[in-house]
Structure 1
């Protein structure tokens, strides 16, 4: 029974990695056409109703009305941190430096989540954890840093703004995951995601009113190619991807789940070449693999 539970969790983590690869490509395409802000809000609205319909047929509940008070306290906080702050920064990073490099920097999410778990939940961190984090950072640095010539200074290969945006996204996702653990416990992961999404919709709505950007949302609805990409990203991102990630941490350890999910920077290399015609060097592939190895070291050893 324990083995079956572990296999379910690990399978869900692998499925999550595939989903996040698809959604990163879809949202990069949509964000470059209509802007990252409209994409953020529209995909959450789509996901809210997709989860509602799915949950209604699965357990007779369209909305998470059976969640505990504790869930309604922590999950909305998680949604604001993860979906509004984290994804707002990440989606803009998609536009600035692309999904491939952004998702590579997002490989820092598991170590960051563990760090916040250590601070907030008193979870244990060992010396090997910090070594694993250093290895992950070195792999990322191999990709984003370069020399113009052999004796020249080391410079950022990609725009600093994009790198900082992606790092902010990783911090938001990591901290959001910790608050998800506080609120979800044994509650249904899909409905838990719906609560987080509802908080995200509310947060983005306030932002759109403050910035007077609603016209951008209506304009995005008229772009058929962007809407197709947003629809695909909504299914594989906040619906399947996020829900499967929560299902995974329910049925296996956070470390194993996070390690499997961290394979996204490697999985996304081929789609980036096929869809966006990116030119990827052996050094960048090596850096992505090293970053993944660092996450493995962080959790497995």
Structure 2
């Protein structure tokens, strides 16, 4: 019996929540471009090995390669780089708030392009879920919080713009990938194509001498290990789960369920910072859980 697409989307959200915590140190060490470049190279190599070993590459129809490549350029090359640039400036909590808006972008784009609609209970659940995520992250900081992860680094306005750009690119990349996944493309092979395209674009801008693409500090074994672990959790597993969910579910619902990752970050931040989230975070988490239950029980 296949796993329901909504559970796959929630599993992807869990992967992204874990990866957002794992990414802070290596992303700030290398910079957004170098961090993205190295983790994409590692993940693409692993995914192609799995695709070749399993024979999944045979499911890729030539006419669908370009759409998967476009999805990778928009959703991963631009989207992920913008997200980690926002994370470097704003920290994981505030960057998570902005990135969570991808669910709203996805639902609107899916309605406009695929005419996807939601039933009454599902719509209520979706609104509660999105509202809960925003509430949890916006009001999840204690007034006395002084941890380095909450500090501003650079222009906050630029960080906000980058976070919203990342959300829009995530929505666009998911929308472009939907037809190919509906056609039966193997999710691991699709992820490999998307990742390889984004990886090539990153190495190309480095070869062109773009200063932002250079690493802030030299790569070492510790940072390489952190980068590899982050990439395998977030992109290797998380992105593949999302593509698998898209084979059976609509774009809007997959996006909304996968957007709960910022709420799942809260207990991880509690563990990492040694302090419980603020009351607003608990309220938001409760709304998110209620909304998710309504969606899953429809």
TM range (shorter): 0.7 to 0.9
CA–CA separation in structure 1 for the residues paired with 2:244 and 2:27: 28
Partner of 1:123: 116
2:77 maps to 84
Task: Measure the CA separation in 1 of the matches of 2:110 and 2:279.
Answer: 35
Pairing of 1:192-271 with structure 2 (within 5 A): 192-208=190-206, 209-212=208-211, 215-216=214-215, 219-221=217-219, 223-271=220-268
Shift of 1:33: 1.8
Equivalent of 1:113 in 106, 114, 124? 106
Please tell me whether the aligned partners of residues 31 and 91 of structure 1 are also in contact (alpha carbons under 8 angstroms): yes
Q: How many corresponding residue pairs? A: 283
The alpha carbon displacement at 1:108 in A equals 1.9
Aligned: 1:100 with 2:93:
yes
Deviations 1:74-116 (A, max 9, x none): 1111111101111111111221222233223322222211211
Note the C-alpha offset of 1:132. Answer: 5.0
Q: C-alpha separation between the residues in 1 aligned to 2:25 and 2:218?
A: 13
Long gaps (5+) in structure 2: 144-150
Q: Which residue of 2 aligns with 1:72?
A: 65
Query: Where do 5+ consecutive residues of structure 1 fail to align?
Result: 150-156
Q: CA RMSD in A?
A: 3.3
- How many angstroms apart in 2 are the aligned matches of 1:80 and 1:92? 17
Shift of residue 293, structure 1, vs aligned partner: 5.7
4+ long deviations beyond 6 Å: 125-128, 294-301
Distance of aligned partners of 1:52 and 1:197 in 2 relative to their CA distance in 1, 3 Å threshold: same
| Structure 1 length-normalised TM | 0.79
Find out whether 1:41 has 2:37 as its counterpart: yes
Residue 268 of structure 1: SS of its match in structure 2?
A: helix
Question: Within 1, Cα distance between the matches of 2:234 and 2:178?
Answer: 19
SS, match of residue 216 in structure 1: coil
Q: Residues of 1 paired with 2:36 and 2:162: CA distance?
A: 15
**TM-score of the aligned structures, taking structure 2 as reference length:** 0.80
* Number of the residue aligned with 2:22: 26
Whether the aligned pair in 2 keeps the contact of 1:108 and 1:137 (CA below 8 Å) is no
